[in-house]
C-alpha cells in the first residue's frame, strides 16, 4: 500500500467527516503540576469528540490510560434477567494510539478471540473500531519499550498511522479498512515524497536514541534474558522485599495495556437481575480463591510474582511474546513506587552473584 501525506488542516476536516459515522476519541493534553523524579508529568488523556478537536496531540507520548478500555470495558453488562445482552454495535474511531498499546492487542486478541470460545463483546468492538495510530516522539523517563524490542512508532494493529513532520502528517496504511477510507477522501491525501519520508525517519531515530539512552543508563535487562531471569528467580527473596510497599490497590493491573483478567458480578437494579463483566486484579487477596476457600497465592509476594511470571514466562511460552510493552504506566501509577525495571534488574544481579 502507498504511503501518503496530508496537511494538518485537511486531517482535522477528515476526522470531522469520519466522526459522522463513528463515536470518536482523541488524545488531548492535560496540565499537571505533578512531578516524577523531577520530571513534570506529561499527561495525555482520551477526549471524546464533541465537534471540536482543540488541544489534540498526535505525537508526544502514549495516553495515561490504556487503549484496552475501549475494546475490553472495565464494567460491561452482559446479561439481564437471565437473558444475554447484545454487544454494543457502536463503531469507535480512536485517534493517537501508540505502539505500546497496539502491540498489546496481540495479547488481548489471543485471550478473547482464540480457543474454543470468542468473547462476543470484545470481538464486536474489535471489528468495529477504526484505529488511527501515531508516532511517539517524546518518551517519558519511565518508558522502556526498546528494551523489549518494541518500536516507538506503530508497527501493527492499526488502520492508519500518522507521523507528525511539521506542517502535516506522513500517513501509513495498516489495513484494507484504512485504504478504503482514504480512497473516499483521496483529494486530501497525496503520495509522500522522499523528503517527507526522510524527515519521518530522522524523527524516529531521534526518539529511539532517547529510549536507548534510558535503557543504558538504567541498565534494563534485554528481552532475550527475561524468561530465564523469571525461571531462575522464582524463589528469590526479591519478591517479598518488593511487596513491602505494595498496598494491593490493583493499579498496576488496571493501567496495564495487556492485563485482561475479569470476574462476573451480579446485582439487582430496578427490579432486574443484572450480570456484569468487571476488571479483576491478580494483586487482590481473593483473586485466586477457589470453591471451598482454598487460595494458592495467600501471600502478597506470591501474587506480585505471579503477575511478572505471566508476562515474562507464561506468554513467551504459549505465544512467543512478552506480555509487557514497556509503557511504564505501572511505574507511574504505583503509590508504593514499585518499579518493574528495578525488579528485573535485581533478579539479573542476583543470578549473576549465584554464578
Tell me: the pLDDT tens digits for 197-207?
A: 999 999 999 99
pLDDT tops 90 at residue 225: no
- Claim to verify: residue 74 and residue 138 sit in the same structural domain: yes
Question: What's the rounded Cα separation, in Å, for the pair 68 and 261?
Answer: 12
Whether 102 contacts 253, CB under 8 Å: no
Q: Are residues 142 and 26 in the same domain?
A: yes
Burial class (CB in 10 A: 0-12, 13-18, 19+), 108: buried
**Domain shared by 236 and 205, yes or no:** no
Segment 150-179 shows an average pLDDT of 96
pLDDT score for 179? 95
- At residue 19's C-alpha, the angle toward residues 16 and 21, to 5°, is 140
Instruction: Reply yes or no on whether the pLDDT at 215 is more than 90.
Output: no
> 287 and 318 share a domain?
yes
Residue 12: its pLDDT value, please? 94
CB atoms within 10 A of CB 131: 27
Residue 221 has pLDDT above 90, yes or no: no
Q: How many CB atoms lie within 10 A of CB 284?
A: 16
pLDDT averaged over the chain? Answer: 92
Same domain, residue pair 8 and 131: yes
- Position with higher pLDDT, 174 vs 220: 174
One domain for residues 27 and 145: yes
Check: CB of residue 203 under 8 Å from CB of residue 36: no
- What's phi and psi for 150, nearest 5 deg? -95, 155
Return the C-alpha cell found at 338.
514499585
Give the model's pLDDT for residue 144: 94
- Band (34; pLDDT cuts 50, 70, 90): low
Number of structural domains found in the chain: 2
DSSP summary character for residue 19: T
- Residue 22, pLDDT above cutoff 90: yes
The confidence score (pLDDT) of residue 30 equals 74
What is the per-residue pLDDT for 67? 98
Give the DSSP letter of residue 168: E
Buried/exposed code over 88-107 (b: 16+ C-beta within 10 A; e: otherwise): eeebbbbbbbbbbbbbbbbb
Last residue of a domain, one of 176, 197, 220: 220
* End-of-domain residue from the set 220, 243, 277: 220
Mean pLDDT of 303-319: 96
Radius of gyration over every alpha carbon of the chain, rounded to an integer in angstroms: 21
Same domain assignment for residues 70 and 148: yes
* Residue bearing cell 486484579: 281
* Pair (87, 183) in one structural domain: yes
Question: What kind and span of H or E run contains 77?
Answer: strand 75-80
Question: Is a pLDDT exceeding 70 seen at residue 355?
Answer: no
Residues 242 and 209 in one domain: no
Cell numbers standing for residue 306: 505471579
Residues 148 and 201 in one domain: yes
Question: Domain residues for 296?
Answer: 224-354
Among 287, 284, 276, 279, CA closest to 260: 279
Percentage, residues of the chain above pLDDT 70: 96
pLDDT at 2: 85
pLDDT for 191: 96
Domain match, 8 and 92 both = yes
Same domain, yes or no: 235 and 212: no
What pLDDT score does 37 carry?
Answer: 52
Task: Choose the final residue of a domain: 199, 220, 241.
Answer: 220
Q: Considering the entire predicted model, what is its pTM? A: 0.93
CA atoms within 13 A on the CB side of 96: 28
Query: How does pLDDT run across 71-100, given as a tens digit for each residue?
Result: 999 999 999 998 999 988 889 999 999 999
Q: Are 15 and 134 in contact (CB under 8 A)?
A: no
Amino acid at each position: 500500500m502507498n504511503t501518503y501525506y496530508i496537511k494538518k488542516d485537511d486531517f482535522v476536516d477528515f476526522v470531522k467527516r469520519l466522526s459522522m459515522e463513528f463515536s470518536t476519541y482523541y488524545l488531548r493534553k492535560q496540565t499537571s503540576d505533578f512531578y516524577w523524579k523531577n520530571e513534570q508529568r506529561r499527561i495525555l488523556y482520551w477526549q471524546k469528540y464533541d465537534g471540536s478537536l482543540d488541544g489534540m496531540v498526535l505525537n508526544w507520548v502514549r495516553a495515561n490510560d490504556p487503549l484496552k478500555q475501549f475494546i475490553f470495558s472495565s464494567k460491561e453488562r452482559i446479561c439481564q434477567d437471565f437473558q444475554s445482552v447484545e454487544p454494543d454495535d457502536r463503531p469507535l474511531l480512536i485517534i493517537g494510539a501508540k505502539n505500546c498499546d497496539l502491540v498489546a492487542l496481540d495479547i488481548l486478541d489471543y485471550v478473547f478471540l482464540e480457543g474454543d470460545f470468542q468473547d462476543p463483546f470484545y470481538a464486536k468492538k474489535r471489528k468495529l473500531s477504526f484505529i488511527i495510530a501515531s508516532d511517539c516522539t517524546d518518551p517519558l523517563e519511565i518508558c522502556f519499550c526498546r528494551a523489549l524490542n518494541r518500536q516507538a512508532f506503530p508497527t501493527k494493529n492499526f488502520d492508519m498511522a500518522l507521523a507528525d513532520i511539521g506542517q502535516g502528517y506522513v500517513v501509513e496504511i495498516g489495513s484494507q479498512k484504512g485504504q478504503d477510507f482514504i480512497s473516499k477522501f483521496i483529494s486530501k491525501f497525496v503520495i509522500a515524497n522522499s523528503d517527507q519520508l526522510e524527515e519521518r525517519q530522522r524523527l524516529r531515530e531521534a526518539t529511539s536514541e532517547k529510549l536507548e539512552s534510558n535503557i543504558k543508563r538504567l541498565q534494563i535487562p534485554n528481552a532475550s534474558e527475561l524468561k530465564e531471569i523469571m525461571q531462575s528467580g522464582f524463589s528469590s527473596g526479591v519478591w517479598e522485599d518488593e511487596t513491602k510497599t505494595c498496598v494491593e490497590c490493583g493499579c498496576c493491573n488496571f493501567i496495564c495495556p495487556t492485563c485482561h483478567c475479569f470476574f462476573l458480578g451480579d446485582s439487582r437494579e430496578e427490579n432486574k437481575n443484572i450480570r456484569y463483566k468487571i476488571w479483576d486484579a491478580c494483586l487482590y487477596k481473593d483473586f485466586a480463591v477457589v470453591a471451598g476457600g482454598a487460595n494458592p497465592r495467600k501471600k502478597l509476594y506470591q501474587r506480585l510474582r505471579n503477575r511478572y511470571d505471566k508476562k515474562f514466562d507464561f506468554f513467551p511460552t504459549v505465544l512467543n511474546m512478552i506480555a509487557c510493552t514497556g509503557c511504564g504506566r505501572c511505574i507511574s501509577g504505583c503509590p508504593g513506587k514499585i518499579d518493574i525495571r528495578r525488579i528485573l534488574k535485581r533478579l539479573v544481579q542476583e543470578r549473576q552473584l549465584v554464578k
